[in-house]
Amino acid sequence: MPVQPETSRAPTADDFVIDQGWAGYGAEDHAIWRRLFERQSKLLPGRACRDYLDGFAKLGVAADGIPDFERLSDVLDRATGWRIVAVPGLVPDAVFFQHLAQRRFPATNWIRRPEQMDYLQEPDVFHDVMGHVPVLMHPVFADYMQAYGRGGLKALRLGALTKLARLYWYTVEFGLIRTAEGLRIYGSGIVSSHKETTYCLESPRPKRIAFDLLRVMRTDYRIDDLQDVYFVIDDFDQLFEATGPDFTSYYDALRHLSDIAPGELVANDRVIEI
């Protein structure tokens, strides 16, 4: 449970950090992790991007069972200065952003049940760790996530959170990347999902559109099913550079632009064929 602040000051990131309770996981919990880990290990080569796979390979501590966040953080910290902290499920937006701005990724500690192997609407520890941590091993992506945290605090002040949350959704969670070998995945919501890992690359149903910052921030998303649209970047540098400018004027412009439904195409979309 979150620790209640003693005074009426605004909550800070530290208030929500809990102990992971690693010793409390049972054999069944670790077995579920291993099933998920082995299943995705077979599927991701050739589908996830090189940077994800490199990060994944360096996280050997995650192969045996649910990793201890402290040990995992030591590996991650040496690579990019990020650490994983345990939080009780979803935390207030400001708290989430404060963590990212301090290069701490808030991860939940619960693991799905055997009957939830295929789809979850709320992140569990497998999604949070195997989805997010491998890319945080990459220096540019690591900096992007920190910048996102700072940007989140600003978006809260400017009343622009809905727009900025879409950027997170369509990059960090469901991003695709174009490489010389073809389309690849870097989004955490995809790499932690057995079904979506093949669907996003192979199904004729979803749209795949070249990344465009304002277009992304206008696009609604669905949390209840496989995505109807994916946005495709060329590399992490493109993402970092496109999001570098001050968003204040973008948010002003967005107030006059209509939202776009997930599967809808609009003028100037660069559709990427598979």
Query: Which chain residues interact with ligand PHE by CB under 6 A?
Result: 144, 147-148, 151, 154, 167, 243-247
Could you say which of 73, 127, 138, 196 is catalytic? 127
236/184 Cα distance (integer angstroms):
13
State the number of CA atoms in the 13 A half-sphere of 38 facing the CB.
8
Q: Is 258 a catalytic residue?
A: no
Give the end-to-end CA distance of the chain in Å, rounded to a whole number: 45
Q: How would you classify the pairing of strands 182-185 and 176-179? A: antiparallel
Active site residue 192: yes
Token digits of residue 142: 């690591």
For residues 140 and 237, the answer to whether their CB atoms sit within 8 Å is yes
- Shortest distance, CB of residue 132 to ligand PHE, whole angstroms? 15
Query: How far apart are CB 243 and ligand PHE at their closest, in Å?
Result: 4
Q: Which of 99, 138, 188, 192 is catalytic?
A: 192
Residue 105 interaction partner, one of ligand PHE, Fe ion, none, beta carbon < 5-8 Å per kind: none
Active-site residue 173, yes or no? yes
Interacting partner of 151 out of Fe ion, ligand PHE, none (Cβ under 5 to 8 A depending on kind): ligand PHE
Phi/psi for 184 (5° steps) reads -140, 165
- Measured from the CB atom, the residue of 126 and 148 that comes closer to ligand PHE is 148
**Euclidean distance between CA atoms 125 and 112, whole angstroms:** 8
Task: Reply yes or no on whether 122 is catalytic.
Answer: no
Could you say which residues in the range 110-139 bind Fe ion, by CB under 5 A? 123
By CB under 5 A, the count of residues binding Fe ion is 2
Catalytic residue set:
127, 132, 173, 192
